[in-house]
Structure 1
Amino acid sequence: MKVCRSAGAASFFLLFFWLLTPGRVCGQETNEQEKYHVDSTLFVYYQRCRTEVTSPSVMQKLDTLFQMAAEKGDARMQAVALSTKVDHFYFSPATEEQEDSLIFYTNKVKEFALKTNQPQYYYFAWANRLITYYTKQKKLNLALYEANKMQQEAEDREEIDGMQNCYQALTRIYQAKELHKQAAIYGQKLIDLTLKYNLNQYNLTNKYLELSNCYLQTHEIEKAWKALEEAQKYVLNEVQQGYILCGTLRYYVQTNDLTKARQLLEEATQYYNNNIELLTKRKTNLLEVATDYYMKTKEYDKALATHLEILEVNDFATPSSYRRLGLIYAAQKEYLKAIDNLEYAFALNDSLSSAQEDISVGEFATILGMEHLNQENKELIQKNQEILLENRRRLIILLCIIIASFAFMFFREVRLNKILRRAKDAEQSASRMKTEFIQNMSHEIRTPLNSIVGFSQLLGSISEKNEESKEYTDIIEQGSNHLLQLVDNVLELANLDSGTPILTDTKVEINALCRQWIEEAKSSPKPGVELVYQPEQEELYLHTNPSRLTQVVSHLLHNSARFTEKGSITLSWHTFPKQQSLTICVTDTGIGIPQDKQDFVFERFAKIDTFSTGTGLGLALGRLIIEKMGGSLILDGKYTEGCRFILTLPIK
């Protein structure tokens, strides 16, 4: 932890408490103002705000003070202005918005203090205002949560101020919960921290007295007396001496040394009566101890009178106050009054207590991380440095492993990319050679085939009168045409496989195109087969490739004509505006295609009937063309009266 606690830093921290304490005389104000280099204008204006700290109008004045301090570059006075806003809601009468406002302005102070490196204000607002507020409101679980969070932050930031405020808050919280064992642990830790780092020892007497009281509650008598002796060493004024008298009296009462208690009670009573500050602010402490003393000496009338005086002094009586009053009446044998007060104490306790008070110490240990208590007795600075060095070493090792892993993956990726690139180049080269071979061979085959077709036609015209010769020449012509169609299809597939694009930027009217297809297909159907056209609407324009589309649809119509003996062949089209698509259907009432062969027919060289004519490339080529145009070609499996091919194209 940071231990740079110079005299200047201590004085700087004391200034905040001095600034927040009203009632200084003019001479003191001037001296302190000069000592801490506070601008006179800011100081006078701040004093004005302090006198009106509970007034609603003070908030606007504090905004003005904050702005004035900002203009003069005094970040300390800006923090004081924000802290006084916290005081406004802390000291003002309780309202529904009090807690939310206190949280809001506490966070404002913390944010500003963190930004301007003023940790004393950061922890003061958090511990002495917000956590103390929760403690007074009996919201002890919430107070414990905030104190635990503050402890964690103080450790992480290595702030002694935060640890000091945290231990003080935890001591008070556990005292409020009557968990005096835990309160004593944190009280001792607070004292050890104060002495170890030579922090402000002004309130060290009170800290030892709180510790002594905790030890009395846990019946650790020797530790309680030792704490009293240590408290005596740090007495600085008459008020603290009065605290010592009261704490020692409590010790004698608790240990049943009633003779010394009697003497000390008289001395303490006289001392308190002679000191106005003790009499007005701390009289309740003396009266409570006096009540305990009178109960032990069986002076019940005095115990009753003293306790009734406590109830008059305090604005709010706790359940324990009425419980004690009931015990006094019971000792006096006034049982009806005893019962009334005890019943009221129980009722009041039920209304004030909450589920927080029923949570065990072990459950709080889970929330607050009580496992740190034993470890905190070690040297905090050395431990934090060791942890920091270990974390850095682990981080460096982890970064090295991550870098090495990334380097390995990078070089592996580069190597694999090179291998894949070579394989891709080889594949593209092989594909290109295949395409070139097919194109060259198709070109070379096409030339003699054209000659064969031409001469077979010539022979047919010469031998028209000879039926046998005519039959042979027709066979030659049909075979040549079939072979020529095969070459054309193979050449077409090769071009498309090589990546040749199909442009679809020609605007056409679909009805005109369909009528052209119907006209060209009129001679194909067998006798008795009707060729039907069913348009969806009278006119529709789209951008496509009409020659390629004609090639595919004409083949579908030709196929339907080949395998339809009777019935009809229907060409129809429909639009789907939401999908921005057009479907063209070719439906026939022919022999159909079995369900298990409907995907097979789109494969290359696929023929269901091996004895039928055709190359088996038409449907595969048609699907490839349509896919190149951004569409699809499928066979409708739900149609069972023949075949229905559905061609889908996007509408541009």
Structure 2
Amino acid sequence: MRRHTNILILLLLTGLCISAGAQNNPYKIDDSLYPIFQRAIKWRTQPQGLLIADTLYAEATQKKDKKAQCLALTIPVSFYLSTNNYEKLEQAAARAKEEARKNNYLQYYYSACTNEINCLLNNGHSLRALQKAEEMKIQAFKDQHEYGIFSCIFTLGNIYYMRQNREVATEYYKNALEYMLKNLPDQDPTYMYINLSEYYRDKGEGEVALEYAEKAAKAAKTNESRVASLLNKCEVLYSMKRINDFNACYDECTQVIEQYGVIRKTAVQRLHIYKLILNKNYDQAHTEADSLRNLLSANQMHHEIYLKSGNYEKAYIYNNWLHNYQDSVNRQVQSSDIAELNARIGTERIKLDAKALEYQNTALNLKNTQLELDRTKSQSELEMMNIENSKLVLENRNLDLARLNVEAEKQKAILKEQQSASQHYIVTLSLVLSFLFLFTCFLIFYLYRRRKTMAILQEKNEELTVARDHAEESDRMKSFFIQNMSHEIRTPLNAIVGFSQVLSTPDMEVDDEEKEEFSMLIQQNSELLTTLINDVLDLASLESGKYRMHLAPHRCNELCQVAMVSVVHRNPKKVKSYFTSDVPNDYLFVTDKERLQQVLINFLTNAEKHTERGEIHLHCSLTENPGKITFSVADTGPGIPADQADCVFDRFSKLDEFKQGTGLGLNICSIIAGRLKGEVKLDKNYTEGARFLFILPLDSVPDK
């Protein structure tokens, strides 16, 4: 992984313009600042480089050289990358990205993004690196920045290479190479060609590897890339056993190294070891291998030496070590992925707890508000009573004064008092009734709002509970899927490797019948491994929405016969397979040929897996469901228990945990049927085994 990181750093430090390398100041910054930048580059992996970078930034600020400021901020990023200090690197990268975007030098923005991702990879955080790379890709396409797009494509290749997925990594390298040749013609594509050559060399496709190696040698623009391309070409020729061509290339490579100096020391040591092996100087070759700093490279070379010298016992020991090392790397990647997933889930749980606490605080605030409102109402009622008392006292005084002053008009005063009392009673009663009416309305409104608020809180709590359960279930299913896939892939892979080694070991005495049996086992496990991988890829393709249905008219009987032929060789000896149809042979209907056959093959494979004797019957009918075409696969196996019939099409559902498979096949059939506007189901009325139905309408167009 560090080799790929160093390649990308080299590309970044060239300033995106290799053709300008012969000039005195290829970055076109202030001439007085360029020598300072050269010293900073030389010391970028040492603490002195940080001090020089600070000086460069201060001088560039004084001279108002924006590009030099951006270049100065790339030095701390490179330093913290070399020390694997991600926290410091993230801070330095944030400052560099802000300055680059502000001054419109986006190449340095994407340089900082790439170094962040590389540091995550060096620390084993491939999932976080992948997330960062996707964010970088979105920004690059939004900016329409050619170098940013190239960097994110190449970086995605490095991520998948680190995750041991070399096929996907190679596709990204090809895309990066194509994009570079089209949009960045001044770049040096040598290392792109070398990556592709190494991939095809390891796959055993020597001619393709040699083609890319020769392209690398022709495209080399620097001394380092020329030496690297010749070293790679030598390794390809050695793997192809073209001894004369290897010797010629070896001599040429030696001359170039003597001229330009030793570059890529480990690769040069490997080349010397290959030469010693060809000269049958095995002892010295072992000594050279021991001097390799990388333990993996050293053990690979020891394995090659023992294999060529005929010491198969020790070669076998080193081969086992290499397999165990690869397994440990895979486990480490898986463990890192699981740890990062658990960390993310933990973060989500903390957020959910915080929201729950926020809702509790809101409820408490509402309660306090209600208490304050009740207290205010009590005070208002007390004040109103005081007012009424004051009015009564005043009226009583007025009445006493009237009695004393107007004795003669007693009767008249009494009448007026009665009239006044009546009016007062009416007014008081009106006020009391109005107050009671307003209070009742307010109380009704308050109870309605409180009930509505409580209902909303209850609904939110239920949503949070569902979200928590869903997150926990997703975590469990992801962990189960990773563990199941590791076991399911390792089982056929171990069988393929084991029987292949038995067949390829000259000392093993194996007769023709055993060879045929071993070859058949290798083929069966290879098909099983292919099926497992295809299930996972098909599921990802269908759920991502990237797959498009390829609709065309097809003869349904021919599709059924092809599906039957493709799986009949897997039948157990005591099982007979046959196909019947009540559909005319020339009957055409519009569908996706590959997806329909995939459903039928999954049904047939499932029946063969669970049927030890009897028969498997594939039938096509237009009459079983009028207006629709019905495909059915019936077997004489043990059948499916009634309590499990409803969950047989669920993802990861396996009725027999001891049978091979990921539990994705029938779930994929269900997804494909939905895309074709059809349905798949289990015939619960069939009692002689299991019978699966695939029903497609004839008068509707499937989803594309």
TM category, shorter:
0.3 to 0.5
Which one has the largest radius of gyration? Answer: 1
TM-score by length of 2: 0.43
